[in-house]
């Protein structure tokens, strides 16, 4: 067997049904194969393999290494497609927060949702930020994601923003809310300060409520200090 024949051979464990010489149906479906390859890339990156090789991707996906290049002829194509799939992953965790509910309620629900989304984003986003300057496709998709997060924030707190003059201008309330609820703020508290999920949401919630001029609700408010014992 020559070198080309070896490259064209399926990866170990990926051969078709015994006796048929045929590949499983999903491996003959280009869209399905692409999806499996992209999931392999994202899973490897999330596990700490920041720039996985085509061999590692193929082994994780259970396909031949040649399939990687058939579907993604260069790194730029691969990074762009992986970023799009990662965006779909965290968008699937989003659900509109009714803007007509009380501010404290919205802050609590909004941050619970953002926490889930940010935890899903974090390992991939950290790698993406390093690759973004050299990848136009990755840069475009990350900017789209940032814009979606800002628009979602504005929709959630539309009534509160409407009560503040110039809330959407540069340096206004919306910019302040975005900074206080951003992935960067979440990651700083989680990774640099070492806070847990609940403590991070509490700290960010305090900032959002202060910016929105809303007092903490009963669930978020600290317990009152105990009364001192009476003097004898």
User: Mean of the per-residue pLDDT values for the chain?
Assistant: 84
Rounded to two decimals, what is the model's pTM? 0.76
Of 26-30, 53-57, 123-127, 178-182, the range with the lowest mean pLDDT is 26-30
The predicted pLDDT at position 8 comes to: 41
| Cβ contacts of 81-86, under 8 Å, gap ≥ 24 | 81/34, 81/38, 82/38, 82/41, 82/42, 82/45, 83/128, 83/137, 83/138, 83/141, 83/142, 84/141, 85/35, 85/38, 85/39, 85/42, 86/42, 86/121, 86/124, 86/128
The predicted pLDDT at position 49 comes to: 87
Distance, in Å, from the CA atom of 166 to the CA atom of 186, rounded to the nearest integer, reads: 26
What average pLDDT does the segment 221-225 reach? 43
What average pLDDT does the segment 148-157 reach? 97
pLDDT tens for 128-146 read 999 899 999 999 999 999 9
């Amino acid at each position: 067997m020559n070198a080309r024949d070896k490259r064209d051979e399926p990866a170990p464990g990926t051969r078709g049904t015994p006796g048929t010489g045929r590949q499983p149906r999903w491996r003959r479906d280009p869209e399905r194969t692409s999806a499996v390859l992209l999931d392999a890339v994202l899973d490897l990156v999330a596990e700490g393999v920041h720039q996985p090789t085509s061999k590692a991707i193929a082994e994780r996906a259970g396909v031949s290494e040649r399939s990687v290049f058939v579907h993604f002829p260069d790194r730029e194509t691969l990074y762009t497609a992986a970023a799009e799939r990662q965006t779909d992953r965290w968008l699937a965790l989003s659900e509109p927060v009714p803007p007509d509910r009380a501010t404290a309620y919205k802050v609590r629900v909004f941050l619970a949702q953002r926490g889930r989304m940010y935890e899903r984003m974090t390992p991939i986003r950290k790698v993406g930020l390093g690759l973004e300057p050299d990848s136009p496709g990755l840069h475009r998709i990350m900017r789209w994601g940032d814009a979606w997060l800002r628009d979602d924030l504005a929709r959630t707190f539309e009534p509160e923003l409407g009560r503040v003059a110039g809330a959407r201008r540069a340096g206004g309330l919306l910019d302040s809310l975005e900074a206080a609820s951003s992935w960067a703020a979440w990651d700083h508290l989680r990774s640099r300060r070492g806070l847990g999920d609940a403590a991070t949401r509490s700290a960010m919630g305090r900032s959002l409520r202060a910016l929105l001029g809303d007092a903490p609700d009963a669930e978020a408010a600290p317990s009152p200090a105990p009364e001192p014992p009476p003097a004898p």
